[in-house]
Amino acid sequence: MYLEDMSWVEVNEYVQKKCCRAIMVPIGAYEEHGPHLPIKTDIFISTKICEIVAEKLDLPVAPPIGFGLCRSTREFPGTFSFEISTFLSLLVDYFSNLINFGFSKLFIVTWHTGKLHLCILRESILKSMERWLNRNLSFYLFTANDLLQEIPKDINENLVHGGRIETSIMLYLDRKSVKLEFLKDSLDCSTDIDNHLVLRSWRKYIPEGYKGNPLAASYDEGKYLFNKIVKYVENEIRKRISSDHS
């Protein structure tokens, strides 16, 4: 169930009756993912994970946060990025609203994993806990980096932005939004970049906006990967809410 579909009375009844007072929080970004994937890719995948896990565990899903920090891709049309202070304030106020409603256990899923994005996300969690010191709060963060550890090494890519993994998952979840015909060729578009080089933008080095080989993607692989990820998140959250019912 989505929080946005509930009335204030239903929200109040939920947090009063549920001993775990848990909620799923999808976070992502509207960001370019190459010429073949939609800019909604990150927030779409995060939301779908939350949606399916929440249904299995009878948890509500908070309104998705589809904005984040995307400095390396912000020169591409379609990428939304915000100042650090803006994003931090947004997250802290957002979490504070959920806490004020009565939720005390937040399970956050973010498919967007930019280093700065994750840093500010973690900082917002700490600030939220400091703001509500009188509450017994628990925040759990599931990132795409964590979830990809569940994927077999023969499939996993070091560089996943718009590559085989994300393209496979989107083929499974939303086939009509994937436009493989927009790819120029089957070459792996992942120019070697010095790991010590601080980049202002990817566009000079990765002009097509993706890394890896999306033409190696498939619907069946996407189904396998996504369901494996969902099962992992479900099991991890189930363990963390089961103690509240014992």
Q: What mean pLDDT do residues 145-166 have?
A: 77
Q: What region does 34 belong to: left with phi over 0, alpha with psi -120 to 50, or beta?
A: left
Query: With b meaning 16 or more CB within 10 Å and e meaning fewer, what string describes 79-109?
Result: bebbeeeebbebbbebbeebbebebbbbbbb
- The whole-number pLDDT of residue 181 equals 92
49-53, 113-117, 157-161: lowest mean pLDDT where?
157-161
Rounded Cα gap, residues 142 and 148, in angstroms: 11
For 141-151, the pLDDT digits (tens) are: 999 888 888 77
Residue 159 has pLDDT above 60, yes or no: no
pLDDT at 246: 45
pLDDT for 37: 97
- Record the pTM: 0.92
Q: Which of 210, 130, 132, 138 is nearest to 178 (CA)?
A: 210
